Copies of this chain bind each other. A is one copy, B any other.
Amino acid sequence: MPSTQTDYPAFAVTVDLVVFTLRGGELNVLLVTRGEAPFAGQPALPGGFVQPSENLDAAARRELTEETSVHEVGGHLEQLGSYGDPDRDPRQRVVTVAYLALAPDLPEPVAGTDAAAAFWLPVAKAIELPLAFDHAQILADALERARAKLEYTNLATAFCPAEFTVSDLREVYEAIWGHPLDPRNFHRKLTGTAGLLIDSGKVRRDGPGRPATVFRAGPTTTLNPPITREP
C-alpha cells in the first residue's frame, strides 16, 4: 500500500527560545506572560509556530527579532534540542524545537510591540517559577548547555559587545558559573590562547585602576585545554 500525502499523524511544530543576557552582572532570561489558555497568565519561554516556508533556524531568528524588538541581535543562536511528549500541550500534539540564544545586554522590551509582554528575569529566580508547558525543563537544559560550553569555547564573547576587556569576559564566566575566578590566572589563560583574542589597540578606563586592553573576538573558537568549572 503506497503512502499518500495524508497517512501520517499531523503535528504542530514550534520553536521556543531561551535567550540569555547579562544584566547587572547577573544572568537573565527572557520570559513572556501568556495571554491565552493553556497556562494563561503564567510565565513561559518566548516562541511560536514554524511557518510553512521557513526552516527551523530562520523561525528561531524571526522569533528572536520579534520578541526582543532588536533587529540584529548579534550574539549567538544554536539549536538546543526537541521536546515532543504527547501531553506537553493539552490542546494538540506539538513538537517544539528549543533554541539557545546568547545576547549582549539588550534594551527593555518595548510597549506596543510583540515584545510588550516580554520581560527579563534573573535565571536564579526563573528556575524556581512554574513555567508553562515543559519550559522549566528546557530552561534547565539550556542553562547546563551554556555552562558546559563556556568550558571549551569562546561562547562568553557572545554576551559582550564587539569590543570588550578580559574582565568583561571573566564577569560572564562568574555570572554563569556562579563562583569567582582568579583574575590573574584567567587573564593568562585567555590571552595565552593563540587567536582567541585580538588586541584592538585601544584601552578602556573605568573608574580607578589601570586601564584595560580592549579586545575583539579572534578566529579561534575553542579552548584547548578547557577551563574547568570546578574551583
Residues on A facing B (Cβ under 8 Å) = 2-3, 5, 8-13, 36, 49-56, 79, 81-86, 91-93, 95, 97, 224-226, 228
Main secondary structure of the interface of A (DSSP, over half): loop
Contact indicator B95/A13 (Cβ below 8 Å): yes
Given A56-B84, A84-B55: A92 and B12 interface contact (C-beta under 8 Å): no
Known: A52-B93, A55-B85, A79-B81. 9 other contacts (CB 8 A): A9-B52, A10-B11, A10-B12, A11-B95, A13-B13, A50-B84, A53-B86, A56-B82, A56-B83
Q: For residue A49, which residues in chain B have a CB less than 8 angstroms away from its CB?
A: 8-9
Contact indicator A36/B3 (Cβ below 8 Å): yes
Closest-by-CB residue of B relative to A9 is B52
Contact indicator B12/A55 (Cβ below 8 Å): no
Closest-by-CB residue of B relative to A5 is B92
Q: How far is the CA of A141 from the CA of B231 in the complex (A)?
A: 33
Q: For residue A2, which residues in chain B have a CB less than 8 angstroms away from its CB?
A: 36
Q: How far is the CA of A17 from the CA of B81 in the complex (A)?
A: 15
Q: For residue A228, which residues in chain B have a CB less than 8 angstroms away from its CB?
A: 224-225
